[in-house]
Amino acid sequence: MRLILLSALAVFSTGCSWILGDNQALSYLDAQEAAETQVPEGMTLNTYDRFPVPDLEGNPGPGEEFKIPVPAPLTVAREDSEPTSLSDFKRELNPRFVRDGAGTLTLQIDARFALSWSRVADALAATDVKLTDLNRSIGTYFLELPNPAAEEDDRSWWGRLWGEKIEEVLPYQLKMVEAGDGVYLTLQEDAETLAEDSLTRDLLTQVKLQLEK
């Protein structure tokens, strides 16, 4: 309550001259210039003009009308260049098989990581490969691929019933690594194990065909 009363008092005191009709805020406009202080002969006052007004010679008048400057028009030189066609753009990706120093089969793409990442994601979506997740920060697409062991399983009904279950699909990781001016794709069973060469070639071939379309 005390704080409210103090606030109200402060507001009232700042505007009391306006409320009571005795507002002297603009009285300085009607003030007259007073003569300098006169002192007896032989005495001096140590004074100075705090806000001196320089002397103005003549009457300059209102002067010319001010005109807003207009910037010069911006001209852009026209370049005689042909637009890049879609086929040229696909040739710039130039997806191709290469083997690294350890002999691992990889798919090389001549594009920066950001572009390659989106294009490979689109390529995977256009195939029959099941994409379960993806993590751009670690450059990994998480896939599910058919298990070759399940396709080659020729056990009898009793053998399948009492034997070890073989998963029909297995998780894999398609890794994208940036190096130089391009990226490299490799297929892995997990973070430390490479997939079989034949399975890697089959998957990368599907991606390569989609990138070339």
Query: What is the Cα–Cα distance from 161 to 29, expressed in whole angstroms?
Result: 107
When mean pLDDT is compared across 2-11, 13-22, 56-65, the lowest value belongs to 13-22
Please, are residues 197 and 102 in contact by the beta-carbon 8 Å criterion?
no
Please, are residues 172 and 185 in contact by the beta-carbon 8 Å criterion?
no
pLDDT(128) > 50: yes
Whole-number pLDDT of residue 84: 47
Return the percentage of the chain with pLDDT > 90, whole number: 38
Sequence ranges of the domains in the chain: 86-144+171-212
Q: What is the pLDDT of residues 42-91, one digit of tens each?
A: 787 777 777 777 776 766 666 677 788 888 887 776 655 555 455 545 55
The angle subtended at Cα 141 by Cα 140 and Cα 147, nearest 5°, is 120
Predicted TM-score of the model (pTM): 0.54
Could you tell me the fold of the domain covering 86-144+171-212?
Answer: TATA-Binding Protein (3.30.310)
